[in-house]
Amino acid sequence: MNRFSENGWSISVTQLLMVVVALIALATTVTLLQSDDSSADDVNATTFYYDRMSDDQKEIYDAMKTMTIEHRSFNLTLDDSVIGQDPSTVITPLNAKIDGVYSLFRQEQLYYYWMDGGFSANYTTYNGGPQDGKLSSSTVTVTFTSAMTAYGNTDAQITTNVASINEILESFRPTVDVTSRYAKVFNIYNSLYDRFIYYADKEHIPEGMIVRNIATAFLGATYPEQSQIVCEGYAKAFKVTCDYYGVPCIIVTGTGVTESGSEGHMWNYVQMENGKWYLIDLTWDDQDDTHTLYHDFFLAGSATVDENFGH
């Protein structure tokens, strides 16, 4: 079912920015608005969220990129005016900012799949004297306290895994590397569907089972066996493949709405050659017990979004 047309519904770049602002501020569910506005040029979707951050948010994002699974700390240098302040007035908002940046980092820097979000911000204080307990330095050391190690816990293993994922992405080239963006996106959609199956019992995920990242999506099973993942795994796998083949694509988090209720959900938007953004949801097109691929949420527009997403 072809849902794409030149006059179809779209999300404008301006309104996508509302998603960015909401995510950075709250790191929670967002509401998407619809518009027929479009951008004439392709957006650099590999750094879509990063490009729209403030300078201090970019500093945190860049520092996160210096981390490896074996070295999960970085220093942030704050303004010297924080020296002498109560730590809670500085560290509490800083933690919220780090958490907001991380929520977008993990949707853009997908090869850092091993990051699990838990972190601490360590600082030094005066010991004794009139400023006892106040900040004595403007340097804060941020440490991500744990990591997802199911696919290795060394830098060498992560490097090997990334290379293996890229080999799989490269194997799609005969089908995916075509001139038409519609055909390219369609073939990516179908190629990924062949490799995945939805893990339906997400309320009872066995301990140690990873269903939400690209490592499981691409390395969790030996093709033609299918990796078991949930919406987050689908959305991240779709984006990393689009990034690899130069298709502007972002990940969006929000709420999925069905007849039985609503729940947190993750999906994608892609920018087509007419400059407009269209919804992609491989998860919801792979919901049949017979593992039949539908295309109801392939390049869907605002009518579908209004009914099923962003509430």
pLDDT at 36 over 80: no
pLDDT tens per residue across span 185-210: 999 999 998 888 887 666 655 555 57
Q: Are residues 66 and 184 in the same domain?
A: no
As a whole number, mean pLDDT of residues 203-218 equals 74
Q: Are residues 165 and 252 in the same domain?
A: yes
pLDDT at 5 over 70: no
Helices assigned H by DSSP within the chain: 13-26, 55-65, 87-108, 155-171, 173-176, 181-195, 214-219, 231-244, 302-308
Is residue 5 domain-resident?
no
Q: Are residues 158 and 196 in the same domain?
A: yes
pLDDT at 39 over 70: no
pLDDT at 242 over 70: yes
Q: Are residues 238 and 296 in the same domain?
A: yes
Among 63-67, 70-74, 148-152, the least confident range? 148-152
Q: Are residues 134 and 171 in the same domain?
A: no
What integer pLDDT is reported at residue 296 of this predicted model? Answer: 81
263 versus 47: the higher-pLDDT residue is 47
Mean pLDDT estimate for the chain: 83
How far apart are the C-alpha atoms of 166 and 175, rounded to whole Å?
A: 16
Q: Are residues 91 and 30 in the same domain?
A: no
Instruction: Specify whether the CB–CB gap between 42 and 248 falls below 8 A.
Output: yes
> Could you give the C-alpha distances from 13 to 36, 254, 257, in angstroms and in order?
10, 17, 24
Is residue 7 domain-resident?
no
Q: What is the CATH number of the domain that holds 272?
A: 3.10.620
How far apart are the C-alpha atoms of 59 and 155, rounded to whole Å?
A: 23
132 versus 5: the higher-pLDDT residue is 132
Is residue 265 domain-resident?
yes
Q: Are residues 65 and 122 in the same domain?
A: yes
Q: Are residues 71 and 117 in the same domain?
A: yes
Q: Are residues 214 and 82 in the same domain?
A: no
What integer pLDDT is reported at residue 23 of this predicted model? Answer: 47
Q: Are residues 278 and 199 in the same domain?
A: yes
pLDDT at 31 over 80: no
Q: Which two tokens stand for residue 147?
A: 């990591």
As a whole number, mean pLDDT of residues 144-156 equals 93
| Listed residues 104, 124, 144: the one ending a domain | 144
pLDDT tens per residue across span 259-282: 777 778 899 999 998 889 999 998
- Taking the model in full, what pTM does it have? 0.84
pLDDT at 224 over 80: no
Q: Which residues are paired to 142 by β-bridges?
A: 74, 121
Q: Are residues 32 and 59 in the same domain?
A: no
| Listed residues 124, 144, 164: the one ending a domain | 144
> Could you give the C-alpha distances from 85 to 79, 80, 88, in angstroms and in order?
12, 10, 8
Number of domains in the chain: 2
Is residue 231 domain-resident?
yes
What integer pLDDT is reported at residue 75 of this predicted model? Answer: 98
Is residue 58 domain-resident?
yes
Domain extent, residue 255, equals 13-45+152-308
Please give the distance of CA 299 from its chain centroid, rounded to a whole number: 19
| Listed residues 91, 116, 144: the one ending a domain | 144
**Which residue type does 286 have?**
D
13 versus 117: the higher-pLDDT residue is 117
Q: Are residues 204 and 282 in the same domain?
A: yes
Is residue 106 domain-resident?
yes
pLDDT at 88 over 70: yes
What integer pLDDT is reported at residue 290 of this predicted model? Answer: 63
pLDDT tens per residue across span 153-188: 999 999 999 999 999 999 999 999 999 999 999 999
Is residue 4 domain-resident?
no
What integer pLDDT is reported at residue 43 of this predicted model? Answer: 85
Is residue 1 domain-resident?
no
